[in-house]
Amino acid sequence: MPDRVQVVCPACAAVNRLPSDRPAEKAVCGSCREKLFQGHPAEADTAMFDKQVARSSVPIVVDVWAPWCGPCKMMAPAFEQVAREMEPKVRFLKLNSDKEQQAAAKLGIRGIPTMILYSGGREIARQSGAMSASQITGWIRQHLG
């Protein structure tokens, strides 16, 4: 296990290096002093999404959604619940496909909601369709081991 883990601040996008032997739940950003893990998914634009995936050593689950999507609205509370339960072991992001159309196209999104799991800067799993909290947790654990 590395001595330090890299975590990208969801507020200011600064890269923080945290000692791996200290609890990350209370860690704050060295630049903006905001909590690095807030117990809920962080809204991400394209630049934030790209930086989180490229620079974070923590696995990332992104929910690609749209405000008009019924299944997205149904799944949102479950995604929030899983974020509360699994952070800081996993970072949770929400990417609005209406606002970030180029990012959604680049990701090859064909239907929403779509969740994508990244680890080490690479996509390791993808799932389309609404899921319950237990299904989301099981899906993440299945792919992260």
Residue 133, classified by CB atoms within 10 Å of its CB into exposed (0-12), middle (13-18) or buried (19+), is: middle
- What is the structure's pLDDT at 1? 46
Q: Give residue-wise pLDDT tens across range 62-110.
A: 999 999 999 999 999 999 999 999 999 999 999 999 999 999 999 999 9
| Residues annotated as part of the active site | 69, 72
Average pLDDT over residues 105-118: 96
Whether 28 is in a domain gets the answer: no
CATH number of 135's domain? 3.40.30.10
The Cα–Cα gap between 114 and 129 comes to 6
Q: CA–CA distance from 108 to each of 92, 105, 116, 127 (Å)?
A: 20, 5, 11, 12
- What is the structure's pLDDT at 2? 56
* Cα atoms in the 13 Å half-sphere on the side-chain side of 47: 5
Q: Give residue-wise pLDDT tens across range 13-53.
A: 999 999 888 778 889 999 999 999 999 999 999 999 999 99
Domain count, the chain: 1
Q: Is the pLDDT of residue 124 over 90?
A: yes
Whether 1 is in a domain gets the answer: no
